[in-house]
Structure 1
Amino acid sequence: MTGREADGTEVGRMLTAGRPFRGRELDELKEFLAGAGLRYEEGIEYSVCLKEGGVITGTGSVEANVIKCVAVEKSRQGQGIMAQIISELIQYLYEKERTHVFVYTRPENLEIFADMGFYAVYAAEGILLLENREKGFDSYLKQLEEETPKEALPQPAAGGDAGKKAAPLSRIGSVAVNCCPFTLGHRYLLEEALRQCDYLHLFLLSDNRGIFSARERYEMLQRGTEDLDRLILHETSGYMISAATFPTYFFKDRAQGESANCRLDLELFGARIAPRLGIAVRFVGTEPFCRITRAYNEEMKRILPGYGIRVVETKRKALNGRPVSASEVRKRIAQGDVEGVKKMVPEKVYRYLKEKMGEAVRL
């Protein structure tokens, strides 16, 4: 190496950075990834490429707090290139104050990432989730318990074995939502679920691709549900993400990747999260618009019963014969359709949009 340029990019055995790459540099990156059996993903915000003689020998990228699209030329593997790339990406993430980092990759890459300080969270067929905190997921499970009233938690199994949990309580349910933004459709699903539960765990999915940040979505969800008793709100801290943002870059077939991610997400929920909270039912709304979410719901019906979790699908709330959807609300926000938005979101959420977003959403 011969140092860094003013923008922080290394020169010499050249390490270039793109925020993200565009034009010819992006084309070169896509070609290199294709040669490694990977695919560049939309949503990437930052990439680094190590070049020798103007040719890419290694690369890695970041979206939010997820490292992805990491590859090293076969002839250069074992020379510390991947460690250098990961180090650069971690530095970028830490500068952005994103210190909890995730990697989705093939299971056979476990040892490679373990050597760089990553720990396995869960593996399903064809896919592995890792994080950079040794006990991160265990801490998250403990956090979920702390957020839950004691009377809503499963009690230790009979026989005095405090290390085992009893069978799930039959009237503890759950819903996972994106809420970009929170609509009357979401509200209807929650009300219907609460009619069938003693307690309902509400998980807000991790997703920063939309027009609202995770913090803004959480605020809207709080405001839109603050009058609902027996509702337990949780953030998902990167462990549960929107089906629309599942990483599929290491699958040749995108649909195969989406299916593998669904399995990972649902098996992690069924095997680790639901037993900890005694969840026996998962509620979901019908999905007439999004193919990916609809496929996820079908996988849910197939996988979760194997963990003793019943799946209940509720028909979406409709307005003038058309299902209420967050995508339609976003469309009306972009159009400045004040009355249209007001009809599809709770009053407190509408006021939040007016107060906090203002001209940013043209209301």
Structure 2
Amino acid sequence: MPTPRTGLPSGGPHPLRPPKPRPGDRIAVISPSSGLPGILPLPYELGLRRLSENFGLRPVEYPSTRTMGATPRQRAADIHAAFADPSVTAVIASIGGDDQITVLPHLDRELIAAHPKPFFGYSDNTCLLAYLWQTGIAAYHGGSVMVQLGRPGRMHPLTEESLRAALFTQGPYELRPADRFGDVDRDWADPATFDEEPATRPGGGWSWTGPEGVVEGTCWGGNVEVLSWLLMADREIGADLSVYDGCVLLLETSEDLPSASEVYGILRAMGERGLLGRFPALLMGRPKTWSFDRPHTPEEAGRYVREQRAAVERALAEYAPETMAVFDVDLGHTDPQLVVPYGGTVRVDGPARRITVTY
């Protein structure tokens, strides 16, 4: 067996971990990207009920939470209000979108730093996650009101367990691969969608590649497409790339289904910037393979997964050959979805094939 390779236990900075909420507390529900709750109320209202009934939290909405077309300044004001409200103990995104990057220039870093709270979100919320990292606040990659909490039929048990642990507990939590998963959507405007759970298919487990070792470090990353926008705009990455040395990189792709060449191009740019090779471990989320615009057949979906993995492996071979990678981790745009601490500690144990996060 290969000798375990231990990454920097203190890899990366140590963002502040805000206190956890408790059942009965108020949780802010914000829409930093898109006001979809206003035009697709069924999954949103279901998600709010589950926040209340399943988790015992009291959702608090803001002026743009249900407002399509809210300006970046209006959405920033909701973020400020959510963090500044002393009666609110956590913040969760209603859903993602595609222009949260325009909100970042309107944020008051001093205000948010003075009122740190756990934030939950993914996809376009990579912008706010990266912003909080640069502000020195740990957050959580995963969880949204409309998708995970508003899942038809019921919440997926693995999703609910992970989200509950991330919300309310502290300490190590071992991630587990899903036996079955799904990524085919149904019409949220149709009430019949919510009569039964989504279809699933066999999961196949996680796949490990690269040098085996044990890497423990602070987690950073997010949605690949959104990270590319941050890199192009030179926002929330920072000039001192050494802060990423020894960190665990988290990557996932969205329902936009970026091509393998696009994914490779983004990772190549990260490599050319001197960023990709700083991470001794990569958690690559299970790719979403279906969208309403591209309803892939199972055969097409399988080819898409293989091509994306080959693109990632090519980039790692060229820019980060010492990085241990785990593919098809149940994070990001997949069902179930595991919550991963962003700015928190992740331990990737190659010989034991185990991933443990610290909530």
* TM-score with structure 2 setting the length: 0.31
Which structure: larger Rg? Answer: 1
Q: Which has the higher contact order (CA 8 A, sep 6+)?
A: 2
* TM-score with structure 1 setting the length: 0.31
